[in-house]
Structure 1
């Protein structure tokens, strides 16, 4: 075979012409017909595995509701277990972006992992949606045009609870959390609102993550006799703390408050000790909107599970990207168009409609919930359309 094609042109010239067409963005049917490539970097093992599964379920539920497509294009998933390990995050995110060539990076639960992912995404100009991690930095100093969040900042639910505690007449509060960024940011958010209203955080206590030896702290709380206690715990540690708090008899004399992660997915494990707990979060059981009713029904039928806040955040991540991709006619190369449409979107979420701040964080209602059985029932909306202050964001 010679170096000429059947058209009589040199093969090298044909290849050069094809490369020129690609560089000029000439439409190629194969590229537009190819599936949208979604990278799901979420925990599938370890403490946060159930949260990662819920986020994945929610994302896929929205895609399935669109006929298995986003903006008329089929969807292909590339899933990686992030292991909730920040030390492995950079390599795993890079693999999804460089080797799998994902169009969208979705992740994650653990804030330390999300921060590392965000840096990789920004360096490669890859679109990324955070469906859980609440690190304030993501929509603060690390904010970027390509980075969006469909969950919350650690500041948001904690700030709302500071307002609630003050309105309930409490003057002194003791706080307790694991000693890590999420806990400290939640404490700071609570303290900001509580002390603005005239309250005083009498003492801030911490213990190493994931230590669950709470007895020394409970003894100190009993001696200090504050008006209330505010904590930040989640998962198995949250269930143990609440049970230990009740076993010490403190629940009868010192009200306990927290962001909703204390009781989301943990009420069954808490049993009677969790009954009546008040928490604040951007989602609750019993919201009176058609979207939530339909979402919960479909989720329960599809996955045989009760949906939670994590599933909602995954669902809304898919919904937000769909809004952007639709504006671009399904063309993933039109990133500027996609970003602008996502920035201007009003997301019809099961939590209630929300928009995005200039830092790409949800501007959303924060609900006061009361634990009743295994439900976190909405009893009030202490703050509507709460925007994170996005301190340090220069976007």
Structure 2
């Protein structure tokens, strides 16, 4: 993949872009094998991604001026841009639908007189522009603002935006008043009647609310959920827990692929909004699953009855000592572990020696970088 921004030294985010893609994928597969280092582990072929246009979400820092906004990143090496940033609206890893929307969104910023936030001067209003593409090219557009000062102007010109960009299904304002490196704040104001964005991943149509997490690579996430569902179906568990369930990707696939209609699927997630999104998707699909807002470790420690199979999909830091220790002592027979950080996965596996990985697969969720997803099936020995 050639990137003009990278070639010009304007952006270094894609750290592996100079390597041929086949080499990137092979290196990730070898890296995962070395970290897990188990001769009895069966490795499936790694799942490749499109080399470009794979990201379904663009996270753009807004700099410059209202008349000439830049949508991209901070920290440009060019001293002439020191007070602003680099415009990356043509970033090649973003989906084509996202790139096509950027000029219209830049025009909207000018039309609504949204002053970009100046990090150095600590003034201005518009901090970030977050855009997600879902099913059929529908878009969720979020304006992250310092205050409500410009909210009335966004509402005033919203009709123009949706006229120019009819695929803008969900539009919202997020308020992040603090001067710190935090992408978004607690308060969300949805400006459209439609509240959630449908995104088909695998065999399930997920519903994404503005602040809920979604895997950023739709094609590879679909492969991830399909493989997980196949392993779950083969195990035929009567009771499944999905800890860190997010918007329900694994849990809903576990509920959708059921040979036994009595299967009990429970999802646990700390984010109330993600749970609400999972429940929307469950109801729309007519599936049987229960979702709870709560801490994964606390839920597991307090539960009276264990599942036959547990799904865990933790953040990059992994399960941590407490939950890994609980799993080791719990007696749970099978665990489906999806990890975006093979290093923390290996550390967790070392803390759970009774749960041995039997199958694994690398899925290249993040081409042009060193990051990847690895799915493992653990069985108690």
How high is the TM-score relative to the length of structure 1?
Answer: 0.38
Q: RCO higher in 1 or 2 (8 Å CA, sep ≥ 6)?
A: 1
Q: Which has the higher helix share?
A: 1
| Larger strand percent | 2
